[in-house]
Structure 1
Amino acid sequence: MRSRRSFRSVPDFRALALLVMGLLSCSGALAASLAGSVELLDADGERIDDASELLATVVYFTPNDPALRAVSPGQALLTTERRQFVPRVLVIETGTTVRFPNSDPILHNVFSSSPGNRFDLGLYGRSDGETHRFDTPGLVRVFCNVHSSMSAHIVVVDTPHHLRPDGNGRFRFDDLPSGPGRLTVWHERSEPLLLDIDLDQASVELEPIQLQLTVRQIEPQRQRLRRRGRY
């Protein structure tokens, strides 16, 4: 009588690994890096070597697949200080609540008429201020109706992939989802520059991105008051 022997099937780990990689690739979950640099030009096309202007630039990558845009809304501050909004440029993700403290011993107002993010917090003195939640992506221009020279910009993005270039204009994203998406480069004195990019490689290096600043720079209220001897 022949004895029966049981055999355990041995999984084909190589085939399994290829299957997992294929699924990840299809879902855009493979990590990719994206690096580049921003060059700012004035209205005459001359290069602007001003680190403060470069640091005020916003760069963000938005995957085409909405499933890859999971944001992490939280809390942020935009403070009124010496008749200025600080910071002048704030980047937040959709769903974030911003508090607007008033650090000055005078009344201020905070409002915006930007489509999708209109609000008016009314007049209030020195305090922790009021809050507003931003649920619509886009640019929000913020003003004070008491001091017309006060302004700030809130850039609301529907992606977790956003950053500022360094003082030399360099930037680098790591752990981006592979696949197609759009890179946006924004500065308050220029129209945003949009680049459609397909991250089909593990590492992508872009040619220098030139952004022309054609909008006149407005002198901050604090500097004007200092020149007049009021600060």
Structure 2
Amino acid sequence: MLLKNRQINRQIVTAFVVILMSQIPIAKALDLKILDKNGTPVANAVVSFPEIKVAEQTALAIMDQIDKQFAPYVLVVQKNQMVDFPNSDAVRHHVYSFSSPNQFEIQLFSGSEAKPLSFKNEGVVVLGCNIHDNMIGYIYINGGELTAMTDTLGELSIPLPDDIKSAAEVELSVWHPELSPMQTKRVTVRLPGNTKNHSITLPFGLEIAKPELNTGFKKKFGN
């Protein structure tokens, strides 16, 4: 599968979850578990709260290359946050993205450093390596909303801001690169006031496919 086609057809799933919270203490953490329709935990699912804004993130984010893989597989950053691309491998990498309007390319030699990049546009940046076609990664760029990502168990715990009141509604947007088919789904969850652990089952199954990347950069730059 071409990386460019993968970008166009990437599996973006938005689950709008209206949580009716009654008598939940202020600033209480919300614990979520994300599952696919088969009950499989969904790791690397990005959960964002579009209506809840957070402070600007100034810390340098890291997208490393380790054992010929992007590390982490999914990186969450804010718009305009700086991202460093170190090369921890003993081989050369040529990192690039066709994702419009955030296209870029960096040639990374072992032990060398490249200037960090910032992304001015929200969205998902699909990463590839011109030298190692099996490498693929993702940078999720948010617009300053509260955002978190599930762990290997499909779980996350995120503190809610003080202005979340009793019986408030919270809208969640859930994205994952391997959820299929591509669709938008509205789910309403009514939670008792004394509950803080919530499971969200998304109505699609994970498709684990081997990435087959074939780039146009090879013709231009070679190996």
Q: TM-score scaled by structure 2?
A: 0.65
Identity of aligned residues (%): 24
Secondary structure of 2:33's partner?
A: strand
Give the equivalent residue in structure 2 for 1:81.
66
Q: Give the structure 2 partner of residue 125 of structure 1.
A: 109
CA-to-partner distance for each residue in 1:22-80, whole Å, 9 max, x for gaps?
Answer: xxxxxxxx857544331123xxxx3225xxxx33222111117xxx4543233111111
Q: Secondary structure at the match of 1:148?
A: coil
Give the 5 Å matches for 1:216-227: 216-218=208-210
The one-letter code matched in structure 2 to 1:183 is L
Contact 2:61 2:82 in 1 (8 A): yes
Q: Distance in 2 between matches of 1:203 and 1:171?
A: 19
Provide TM-score, normalisation by structure 1: 0.63
Report the structure number with the largest CA radius of gyration: 1
| Letter of the 2:45 counterpart | T
Structure 1 position 172, deviation (Å): 3.5
Alignment correspondent of 2:156: 171
Structure ranking higher on relative contact order (CA contacts 8 Å, 6+ apart): 2
Distance 2:54 2:169 in 1: 12
Q: Structure 1 residues 96, 203: closer, same or farther in 2, change over 3 A?
A: farther
In the alignment, which residue of structure 1 is the partner of 2:50?
A: 62
Aligned equivalents of 1:188, 1:172: Cα separation in 2: 21
Gaps of 5+ in 2: 1-25, 213-223
Question: In structure 2, do the counterparts of structure 1 residues 80 and 173 end up closer, same or farther at CA, with 3 Å as the change threshold?
Answer: closer
* Unmatched segments (≥5 aa) in structure 1: 1-29, 221-231
Between stretches 69-78 and 91-100, larger displacement belongs to: 69-78
Q: Which whole-Å deviations, capped at 9, do the CAs of 1:99-153 have from their partners, x for residues lacking one?
A: 11112232211111112211112x3311223421012111110111111111100
Greater fraction of residues in helix: 1
Give the 3-state SS of the residue equivalent to 2:178 in structure 1. coil
Give the aligned length: 178
After superposition, where does 1:1-231 map in structure 2 within 5 Å? 34-41=30-37, 46-48=38-40, 54-63=42-51, 68-121=53-106, 123-126=107-110, 127-176=112-161, 177-178=163-164, 182-190=171-179, 191=182, 208-211=199-202, 212-218=204-210
Matched residues in 2 for 1:89 and 1:148: separation?
17
> What do residues 189-216 of structure 1 show as CA deviations (whole Å, max 9, x unaligned)?
014766588xxx9988686322323533
In structure 1, C-alpha distance between the alignment counterparts of 2:71 and 2:94, rounded to whole Å: 14
Post-superposition offset of 1:166: 4.5
